[in-house]
Structures are given as C-alpha cells and as structure tokens.
Structure 1
C-alpha cells in the first residue's frame, strides 16, 4: 500500500461556505504525521474527512486504498483508532470501570462491555498495558487515575482494534506539563504498529517520532512535507498569523514570538 491517505483536489462546503479548499496531500506508508494550525483552521474538518464523517464536496479521496464513493465507510472506520480530549465527556459513564474493561471496550467501539470478551482479547489487553507501560494500573478503577493516565488508557483503548491509522486529536489538551510529557513519551512505541496522525496547535508536542508535518490555515494547506523542511520561521509565521521563530532542542521544535515593532 503506497498511500495511507490521499487527498486530490478535495473541497468541502457546509451551508454554502467553503471550509476546506483544494486540499492535495498524501500520507505514505511508514510516515508519521502531525497536523498543525490555529483553532478553527480546519484541522478537525480534515480529520472528519479522513474518518468519513464528512464527505468531500468535490475531488478524489482514498484512505487505506479505499476509494470514497466505492467503499463502506463504517467498515473503514474499524481500521482507524481515534483519541481526543472530547472523549472526556464519557468519563461519568466509565468512572467505576476497571482499566482493563475500558481498554477492551475499544474492540466494540463502546464505553462499557455488552458483548462476549474472548481470552485472546484479554491477552491483547495485557499486551497493550505492557507496551504502554501501564501494567501498574491493572485492576484500578478509571475514577482514581490522573488525567494523564486516563489519556494513556484511552490510547490503549484505541489500540484494541489494531488500527492501521491512529488519530490523536489534541490528546494533551488540559494536561499539566508532567502528564503531557507522559503522553508524548508513548509516541516512539506507538509508531511501531500504526500510522500516527497527531493534531495540535502546540509545536513543542511534535516529538522525534513525527516525521512529517502539515500546516493548515483558513481551510487550506500552507505546506506539507518532512518536518525540518516545513517547520520554518516563514511558514510557521504564515500559519499562526504572527511573527515567530523556531528553534530545536532535544529533537523537538519550540517557538519564540517575535516582538511587534
């Protein structure tokens, strides 16, 4: 499979307003991407197109070699894991669930277990706990976890379906510095078994595991490509609508805002 995701002249309109404009973008096998842009720039709209919840108004679109218009999007979604701070709205539902139950529910795309769980499923849960260095949480209730631990457990839940694409939509939103770094430390492990699509407006969250970046502004792509080529002063200033300078430290980019004259 050469292209994991392929946008060809994709436009999406809502209520006669053009939300995404002439998007041309390819994610190739083995690449790990970040989508970077301001709030309201179109990042979530891109995700909704990829997952098939919004359908392109015009253009050609494929995800995992499945051509939109000729594929069952509900089946396609089973190959895409999704983690977002928006999932926090389900916390009341799963407060008393064990960590293992929360993770295994990802196989059924539910919060709560309403179907039979096999021994193979529980073995996979154990494997996910091991891979994400969460074994110390085994047997604990979701309600007693820190915010950072909850996000990592939700990432484990997304991995239960063994997705070919794992979307992390601002997974560090609302976390303190320690919790954020605990989530970001998982990136190197996650990239071994899936294609990451990490969405943020915080450039310092782009870890060494990320190989490519797409910059989004006002529904258009400012630039796409290898991160060192894309994360430049000029392109980031255009994306963020304010003069900035980027510097690299510890394999990660950091921003400085230029003082307005």
Structure 2
C-alpha cells in the first residue's frame, strides 16, 4: 500500500497540519493522546470529512487521487474502497447480523478478499448470525462491525479503537485474526493501548496537536510511546507474607497478563487501606 497525503485544515479551534508519505503492508499504528487528531485524520482519508476549498488537502492511495482541494477533486466515501470501523460500530439495527454482512458484500460488488467463513470464525460471531443487530452487546456489535468492514473488500481498512469494547479473551482472538487479515488488507490502527500497539503495529505514526511528531519502525519508536500511570485500591495486604491484592480500573486490565512482573510505586496514604489477606 502507498498512501500519500497533505492535510492542512482548520476544524473549529483545532488545526490539522499533516504531511505523510508511507509505503507499507500489514498494520500501521496511529498513536496519540485524545485530541491529537487521529480520528479526524481517518475521516479525511475515508472521505467522511471534505476539505474546505481554500485550505490544502491532497490524498492519494495506491496511485489513485482521492482528493485535491486545489483541483476541486473529491471522490465520495462510497467510491474510495476504504473500510472504517468506528468506536460505536454503526450497524444497521433493523437487520440481522447475517444481513449486515451480506449487505457489505453486495455493496462492494466484489468477491470478499477473505473467505466469509474465515471472517465469521475469526471474529467469533457464528452464534450471532440470526440475531438482530439491535439486540447485541457493545462487544458483539464491535466484532460484527469488524467482520462487515473486512467483507466489504477494502483496499485499506481504518480501525479506530476497534477493540475497546471487548473482553480480554475476545480482544486477544481479534488481535490474532487481524494480524492474519493484514496480509491481504493493509490497515491503519488507532489504539490508546501501548501494549496493543506494540504487539500489532509496525510501523508507527505518532500524532500530537494535529501534527505528526514521529514516524518509523516499532523498534525505533517504542521508547517514545507514553507509559501509562494508574492508581489502584488496596483490597487486602498481609505484611508477613508480602501478599497484596489490588483493585485496578477494568479499562487497564488488558495491559497486564498473569505472571507478568510490574513495578509499583506506593504512596504513604495506601498504608491506611491495610486489611488482613484472606485469599481468594
């Protein structure tokens, strides 16, 4: 995949000033704090945001000019062959899961790049096919949205925090499946999880305040990714054995694995939360 873009746009009080030229396959990570411009970048690439005529915007994908504000060129989203998985899934609620998938294939007018059965299996949605999309949980909806986007046979797949609503097991299965799919469909992948980004993505693009501040291989940029700080509640502590039980924000749990060694910095106020350790 070859992607070249130059987007210089004012969005209210926020400004994008992005110049990017990248040639890569697999999964390209897009990382940055909230408000860095990640989703806005995706919306311009997908054709969901149209540039102002008096501001610069040029986007080219694999030699096809998708947008050039100086020429008045704009290819609408439905003709760009770019898949987009939003954080809120955006399924057709009046259709079943199977009907959502079949509609994606029908609209694309192409044979899926990944076998339909492989997609259903990889996304873990076989038992959901007959269900109404409206009745699904947030995690189920997200898995269906990913399957639907893949079956649309895109030239490029944009994934905006696609795993945020999933439990740990589902997240791990989807990570492995997306890694296989990326051999056929290149992806741009937004995640706020450092471990997720470093596991799945290479190369990486780092955004800050609407600008690209770094771009390169996973090895080169790993040290530039922010380290997450979090607080935890001491639920139980046994000073003789050194056993400690902590309660952590569930959103942080995917960052940890059983048996993993982590560093702790204890504040004096934690000592007030001591309680006898009683086991599981």
Q: Which moved more, 1:174-183 or 1:99-108?
A: 174-183
* 1:37 pairs with 2:32: yes
CA distance in 2, matches of 1:58, 1:141: 43
Structure 2: gaps of 5 or more residues:
230-254, 267-280
How high is the TM-score relative to the length of structure 1?
0.71
Alignment correspondent of 1:158: 149
Displacement of 1:49: 1.8
Q: For 1:129 and 1:187, locate their aligned partners in 2 and report how far apart those are by CA, in whole Å.
A: 13
Change (3 A) 1:154 1:59: closer
d(CA) in 2 for partners of 1:38, 1:199: 11
TM-score (norm 2): 0.67
Give the corresponding residue for 1:236: 225
Deviates more, 1:187-196 or 1:142-151: 142-151
* Shift, 1:75, TM fit: 6.0
| Structure 1 residue 133 displacement after superposition | 5.0
Q: Does the aligned pair in 2 maintain the 1:148–1:182 contact within 8 Å?
A: no
Contact 2:29-2:190 at 8 Å conserved across structures:
yes
Q: Report the alpha carbon displacement of residue 256 of structure 1 after superposing the two structures with TM.
A: 7.6
Partner-residue secondary structure (3-state), 2:76:
helix
Q: 1:75 to 1:153 in 2, by over 3 A?
A: closer
CA contact (8 A) 1:34 1:214 kept: yes
| Counterpart among 98, 101, 124 of residue 99 in structure 2 | 101
CA distance in 1, matches of 2:207, 2:77: 28
* Partner Cα separation in structure 2 for residue 218 and residue 180 of structure 1: 29
Q: Deviations over 1:115-146 (max 9, x none)?
A: xx99x78x964453245454444434445544
Alignment of 1:118-197 (within 5 A): 125-126=116-117, 128-130=119-121, 132-142=123-133, 145-197=136-188
| Inter-CA distance 42–224: structure 2 relative to 1 (3 Å threshold) | same
Aligned-partner Cα distance in 2 for 1:210–1:149: 24
For structure 1, which runs of at least 5 residues remain unmatched after alignment?
111-116, 243-247
Q: How many residues align?
A: 231
